Amino acid sequence: MRVLTKEQISLNLVGLAMCMALAAWWYWQSTGVQAVPALIEQLHDPDPSTRIVAADWLGDIGPKATAAVPSLLVLATKDSVQHANTTAAAALRHIDLAAARLVMAHYVPFLNVGDIQSRRTAGAVIGELGPVAKPAVPSLIALMHDPDELVRRNVLAALGNIGIPAGEVSNALFAGLRDPSALVRQAAATQLAFAVPLPRERVDEITAMLDQQDAAVSGLLRNALEKTRQGDAARVETFVLMIGQSTGREYALHQLARLGPTAIAAAPILITVLQDDRPMHRYLAVEALSAIGAGGGQTIVALTPLRHDPDPIVRESATDALAAIDSRSPALHNGARESPRVKP
Amino acid sequence: MLSVKGIRLITVVTYWIAILLGPLVPWASLILTDVAVRHVPLAQTLHDFRAHLFAPGYNLFLIGILNTVPFLAFALLALFHLGMSPLEDSVRTRHRFAGIAGAGLAITAVSIWIHVTILLHPDAQGAIAYLFLPVVLLVLLPVGYVVGRLIGILLVQVNTA
């Protein structure tokens, strides 16, 4: 005779299986799109850290969290805690590009108000919107001579995060390297070291600057120079591989949009991304193709249907890209419009 | 001397306590560390716990599940090893009980110690410890069993003498 009978052991095992099923159901109910209603409630929590965690989580869920857009808009524009504003803005860029643009439109006027804190917050929030805040670039550049160094630092960080148009952004960052404040110079150097590709024609200028900067900024600039040693073709190849992986896709697309014409080899894969489910990916693919320039008739053929994309920001971007390509090579554009649509 | 009903109860209770300890050790360590060391009010700690349970970047639920793996192995060991023990051989049952107790104490103590250490000394690499902890506990499980069983054998010999 044993301590437990076979039936008693089986009963306990069934109990364990039920507990595991209950835990799995609890996990399923509390994550992904199922978590959205509870997270929307948490966006109204009196505790700021709860609101911030909820906003961040909704951003991770992405376009399926559309129901949270109104609450996130309130958090991004009305909350008294800057970290809540920036987190909500960052979440919106992953959920709804048009809502992200509304946040940008809300904060751009604050870049020119007398209150310093409002200008600092506006710069920080616009930066968190990333490439979708491209139309705010001229307003941010205009603020580069603000008397407050934190405003200037936030502006440079924002320009680095937005990253496009690459020419304007890198010019602004180079100007930032000559700022009287070490904090601002460091912000500019950080962007060049980690986010914004260093144009080859600027390499000599940066090398000459190394001895004039303090140790921290020089270290960052050396890092930026180190990146240029890898050829453009190799970098483009790396980003093309990253596009194939869902986790690094947005970063790779953003980098290709920043690289401009040197990323021409990525055009075929960018054309396939124009069919991506995520509006942000389609938007970045359009921006990258636009920055590359006329990538052939196939690019125009692939961009044309995006003038009717469900997302208004993608539509606008595609229309602008087609106009830009048209202005550069009108004959090619007209030829492509007349050609039958080919599946990319 | 324990009755048959008593041994049966100990086996089943050990099994279910082990299953509960899996997620409870990391969760209770977190709550108690916040309250006792960081002096965060209990209500606030519980509120934060609820908000971070499934949140990306915190994933307290996942940490609980990871810690549950070795405790689940221990629970099954207790259920089968102790539950299948022959009632007529009380010495062997006591040896097995000592082994199970040794394994349970070893994994619980090490699990609490590692979780509290991670919480008291937060580090960017702390999450790596959460990944390795189940492996460490699974290795410790047979070691704790052998030590517990040896102690059990010694105690039985001392009592007999």
* CB spacing of A3 vs B52 below 8 angstroms: no
pLDDT for A227-262, tens place per residue?
877 777 888 899 999 998 878 899 999 999 988 888
Find out whether the peptide bond into B41 is cis, omega within 30 degrees of 0: no
* CB spacing of A56 vs B55 below 8 angstroms: yes
User: What single-letter DSSP state applies at residue B86?
Assistant: B
pLDDT at site A331: 54
* CB spacing of B11 vs A4 below 8 angstroms: yes
What amino acid is encoded at A2 in this protein? R
* CB spacing of B7 vs A3 below 8 angstroms: yes
pLDDT for A153-181, tens place per residue?
999 999 999 998 888 999 999 999 989 99
Q: How confident is the model at residue A71 (pLDDT cuts 50, 70, 90)?
A: very high
Q: Is the pLDDT of residue A14 over 80?
A: yes
* CB spacing of A47 vs B57 below 8 angstroms: no
Nearest Cα residue in chain B from A28 = B54
Q: Which of B29, B43, B55 is nearest to B122 (CA)?
A: B29
Q: Is the pLDDT of residue A338 over 70?
A: no
pLDDT at site A294: 58
* Beta bridge partner(s), residue A2: B86
Are A47 and A81 in contact, with CB atoms under 8 Å apart?
Answer: no
Q: Is the pLDDT of residue A318 over 70?
A: yes
pLDDT at site A52: 96
Q: Which of A245, A282, A243, A237 is nearest to A263 (CA)?
A: A237
Q: Is the pLDDT of residue B94 over 70?
A: yes
Mean pLDDT of B100-128: 91
pLDDT for B28-65, tens place per residue?
999 999 999 999 999 999 999 999 999 988 889 999 99
DSSP three-state, residue A2? strand
pLDDT at site A47: 92
Distance from CA of A88 to the nearest CA of B (A): 15
Distance from CA of B139 to the nearest CA of A (A): 23
By 3-state DSSP, what share of chain B in percent is helix, strand and coil, each rounded to 5?
Answer: 85, 0, 15
* CB spacing of B79 vs A4 below 8 angstroms: yes
Distance from CA of A38 to the nearest CA of B (A): 10
Which ipTM score applies to this complex?
Answer: 0.91
Chain B residues near residue A32 by CB distance under 8 angstroms:
none
pLDDT at site A334: 52
Mean pLDDT of A316-320: 92
* CB spacing of B54 vs A31 below 8 angstroms: yes
* CB spacing of B84 vs A3 below 8 angstroms: yes
- In a mutational test of the B interface, the residue from A1, A4, A60 whose CB has the highest number of chain B CBs within 10 Å is A4
Closest residue to A12, CB basis, from B15, B61, B88: B15
Chain B residues near residue A35 by CB distance under 8 angstroms:
54
Q: Is the pLDDT of residue A196 over 90?
A: no
The b/e string for A33-59 (b: 16+ C-beta within 10 A; e otherwise) is eebbeebbebbeeeeebbbbbbbbbbb
pLDDT for B15-32, tens place per residue?
999 999 999 999 999 999
DSSP three-state, residue B156? helix
Mean pLDDT of A283-298: 83
Both tokens of A289, joined, read 């193709």
Both tokens of A70, joined, read 């109104």
Question: How long, in residues, is chain B?
Answer: 161
**Chains A–B, number of C-beta pairs less than 8 Å apart:** 71
* CB spacing of A1 vs B88 below 8 angstroms: yes
pLDDT at site B88: 84
Closest residue to A2, CB basis, from B51, B53, B85: B85
Chain B residues near residue A16 by CB distance under 8 angstroms:
19, 72, 75
Q: How confident is the model at residue A341 (pLDDT cuts 50, 70, 90)?
A: very low
